[in-house]
Structure 1
Amino acid sequence: MAEEKLKTKDRVLLDLLDHVGSHVSGDQLAQDLDISRESVWKAVKSLQKDGHTIVSKKKTGYAYLYSDHVDEMVTSHYLKSLSEGKQAFDKIQITEGRTSTQTDAKEFLAMHPGVNPTLFAARSLAGAYGRRGRAFFAPRDHGLYFSLSLPITNKEEVVASLLTTSAADVIANVLEESFPGVTVDLKWVNDLIVDRHKVGGLITEAVFDMETQQYTALVLGIGLNVLPSDFPEDITQKAGTVLSEKTDGVDLNFLLARLILALVQMGEDYADGRYLDDYRKRSLLIDKTVSVQVGQDVVAGEVQGVSKQGGLEVKTADGDVQTLYAGEVTKVKLLENLNL
């Protein structure tokens, strides 16, 4: 979007974002943008009304701190600044609310195949879904609900189970780095667990080009409940949030940008299995007795580990070890509340 077409308040926002946490005088903003001091004041008031926390100090100016919601302009700014302008995106779209960002991403890619990642996110979702089509509760402005596409440019082999486990591990690490004191465990293959409650998960899907008969992109759909929220009664014993108490100053845009860049990097180097050791350390299932739904069958036994390709190694009652690359853990002995 060309700067001359931006609204005044958006131009003010971009200027303030260049100095996050630091005060910029009204005179300086007016001079930078070639507008009046009154226009600056009106723009700041409008931005504050939109949910951006901007503080003012007499004779010092305005300082942008954070936003109470995901915002396309703010997230785009952080993606650019954190990557030093080196990471390009074919599309970044953040909306008020959608039925499914996963559907949005796949429909866009079907019409606009590209060479760079795309990001589709929303403040809330009406039709969020995970593996096996299960609904995901996505309360407005309390979490991150997004789909990230990773183009397949070199026709490299895709190992879905390894990709999913790697992505889960990357997300866990970014969350722990962002929120000291939080510990994220993982339930194979894609559930993120904090304090024995599911706080998020991911789904991995592929886009197939019928004309070339090749896969052109991977789409990671991710739902994370970050801030405390009231869950529907039927899931309140199982679902949780990354933060257990209301915390001021949580910047969802900065967190989203960090996650996106870490996942893009993961997409480039996951194939060598570098994330598996940490995934195994975070696993709640190793040495536990589990039941795994695989299609119409149930495999029960003790989890021996996670294979080099992200499969779950289960030792059954007859002593055989089966490596599962698909399925859902429906029961974990001694961890009943993880029956998700």
Structure 2
Amino acid sequence: MEKQERSTKDRVLAILLTQPGVYFSGDSLAQVLNLSRESIWKAVRSLKVDGHQIASRKKAGYAYLSSRQVDPLVLKQWLHLLDSDLAENQQPKVRVFEQIDSTQAYAKDLVAKQPLTKPTLLVAREQSGGYGRQGRAFYSPKDRGLYVSLVMPVAVGTRLAPSLLTTSAAVALVQGLQVFFPAAPFQLKWVNDLILHRRKIGGVITEGIFDFESQQYSAVILGFAINLMPGAFPDGLESKAGTVLTNDANNLDLNSVLAQLVVNLLKMATTYQDGAYLPAYRERSLLIGHTITVKVGTDEKTGIVTGISDQGGLMMTENATGQQETLYAGEVTKVKLLENLNL
């Protein structure tokens, strides 16, 4: 019975999604799906309980408005609407988890078990063990943000540029968010942190899977997490972490936002090596012109950031020696401008 009800919900939702905002009468839905009007009503009611925003109007019927949770069917529909320029082999497979330890850990296990021929998108409504660079934990409460790993196969002979990939991915994400939040002054903290109003609202992590037989990378796992809606942060994070929105937005569809971000990332992955995203990264850089402390291994360096190199490295002049150097690895632990960002 449960399987049949779920199937009915999916079938009703699929029709409503073909034209978001357009009303479909109960009679037309019942006729197309060969169901009773009562079955349609029950399916719509159940979809609303699941978090889908569906308008009901007498004599007009039902219209899909938005969804407050990531739903595979809704997400696929938005990807289809947005990715018409993507090649067939770039359109990702989609899997959504109600709850998982870490999409990034699951992705690495998936790639280890079977070679992938097309991108795979793994999304969690909630994570218990989400992490970023340096293994730092990322708080991932249910349906308050986007917790995602995008697995992209690497073609034989492809050269990777890790620093460029991470910086370009950060730009692609910010540009996607800007579509929905055009007035938000997003900034970027080298190499992978998304900053808004002096707080970290998200981050990017890129991990390569190396194939010893072919002696090259077989896949790249691009993970990202973004805090969209407010919620109670654990002790110690309130002053550092933030959210894109300061209060809940009833009309925000997590699926449309995520679809835009994924399409941006897929397009970025085919062009990032020419440095096309660097001007936007430099423009949004939080660090250029400011004194920072960066940890490289067990050493710490303090100096003024002078720019971002053409390969995505951090250019700085050390205070102790006056020498200019470019870093491609390390963790910025202190920004003199913003003491709360000692993450």
Structure 2 segments unaligned to the other structure (5+ residues): none
Instruction: Give distance in 2, aligned partners of 1:137 and 1:55.
Output: 33
Instruction: Give distance in 2, aligned partners of 1:50 and 1:86.
Output: 33
**Contact 1:203–1:222 (8 Å) recurs in 2:** yes
Moved more, 76-85 or 57-66: 76-85
**Cα offset for 1:95?**
0.9
Instruction: Give distance in 1, aligned partners of 2:6 and 2:266.
Output: 29
| TM-score calculated relative to the size of structure 2 | 0.95
1:111 aligned partner, one-letter code: K
1:52 aligned partner, one-letter code: H
Mapped pair 1:134 → 2:131: no
**Contact 1:120–1:147 (8 Å) recurs in 2:** yes
Pick one of 311, 314, 331 that aligns with 1:328: 331
2:125 aligned partner, one-letter code: R
**Cα offset for 1:144?**
0.0
RMSD, aligned CA:
1.6
Q: Which residue of structure 2 lines up, in the alignment, with residue 33 of structure 1?
A: 33
**Cα offset for 1:89?**
4.2
Structure 1 segments unaligned to the other structure (5+ residues): none
1:336 aligned partner, one-letter code: E
Q: Which residue of structure 2 lines up, in the alignment, with residue 296 of structure 1?
A: 298
2:15 aligned partner, one-letter code: D
**Contact 2:156–2:216 (8 Å) recurs in 1:** no
Instruction: Give distance in 2, aligned partners of 1:300 and 1:10.
Output: 56
1:262 aligned partner, one-letter code: N
**Cα offset for 1:291?**
0.6
Q: Which residue of structure 2 lines up, in the alignment, with residue 223 of structure 1?
A: 225
2:259 aligned partner, one-letter code: A
Instruction: Give distance in 1, aligned partners of 2:92 and 2:274.
Output: 27
Secondary structure at the counterpart of residue 290 of structure 1: strand
Instruction: Give distance in 1, aligned partners of 2:251 and 2:157.
Output: 42
Pick one of 171, 174, 191 that aligns with 1:172: 174
Q: Which residue of structure 2 lines up, in the alignment, with residue 278 of structure 1?
A: 280
Moved more, 152-161 or 280-289: 152-161
**Contact 1:74–1:253 (8 Å) recurs in 2:** yes
**Contact 1:68–1:251 (8 Å) recurs in 2:** yes
Matches within 5 A, 1:300-319: 300-317=302-319, 318-319=321-322
Secondary structure at the counterpart of residue 7 of structure 1: helix
Q: Once the two structures are superposed, what CA deviation does each residue of 1:25-53 show, in whole Å capped at 9, x if it has no partner?
A: 11111222222222111111111111111
Q: Once the two structures are superposed, what CA deviation does each residue of 1:207-251 show, in whole Å capped at 9, x if it has no partner?
A: 122332221111011010000111112110010001122221111
Instruction: Give distance in 1, aligned partners of 2:167 and 2:132.
Output: 15
Instruction: Give distance in 2, aligned partners of 1:17 and 1:86.
Output: 23
2:227 aligned partner, one-letter code: N
Matches within 5 A, 1:189-268: 189-268=191-270
Moved more, 224-233 or 78-87: 78-87
Query: In the superposition, relative to structure 1, how do residues 9 and 128 fare at CA in structure 2: closer, same or farther (>3 Å)?
Result: same
Q: Which residue of structure 2 lines up, in the alignment, with residue 51 of structure 1?
A: 51
Query: In the superposition, relative to structure 1, how do residues 230 and 5 fare at CA in structure 2: closer, same or farther (>3 Å)?
Result: closer
2:206 aligned partner, one-letter code: T
2:327 aligned partner, one-letter code: L
Instruction: Give distance in 1, aligned partners of 2:298 and 2:40.
Output: 63
Secondary structure at the counterpart of residue 331 of structure 1: strand
Moved more, 279-288 or 175-184: 175-184
**Contact 2:99–2:125 (8 Å) recurs in 1:** yes
**Contact 2:335–2:342 (8 Å) recurs in 1:** yes
Query: In the superposition, relative to structure 1, how do residues 90 and 284 fare at CA in structure 2: closer, same or farther (>3 Å)?
Result: closer
| TM-score calculated relative to the size of structure 1 | 0.96
Query: In the superposition, relative to structure 1, how do residues 176 and 308 fare at CA in structure 2: closer, same or farther (>3 Å)?
Result: same
Instruction: Give distance in 2, aligned partners of 1:284 and 1:180.
Output: 18
Q: Which residue of structure 2 lines up, in the alignment, with residue 108 of structure 1?
A: 110
2:281 aligned partner, one-letter code: Y
Secondary structure at the counterpart of residue 77 of structure 1: helix
Instruction: Give distance in 2, aligned partners of 1:24 and 1:155.
Output: 50
Instruction: Give distance in 1, aligned partners of 2:119 and 2:210.
Output: 16
Secondary structure at the counterpart of residue 94 of structure 2: strand
1:333 aligned partner, one-letter code: K
Q: Which residue of structure 1 lines up, in the alignment, with residue 147 of structure 2?
A: 145
Q: Which residue of structure 2 lines up, in the alignment, with residue 8 of structure 1?
A: 8
Indicate the percent of aligned positions where both proteins have the same amino acid: 51
Instruction: Give distance in 2, aligned partners of 1:80 and 1:86.
Output: 12
**Cα offset for 1:86?**
4.8
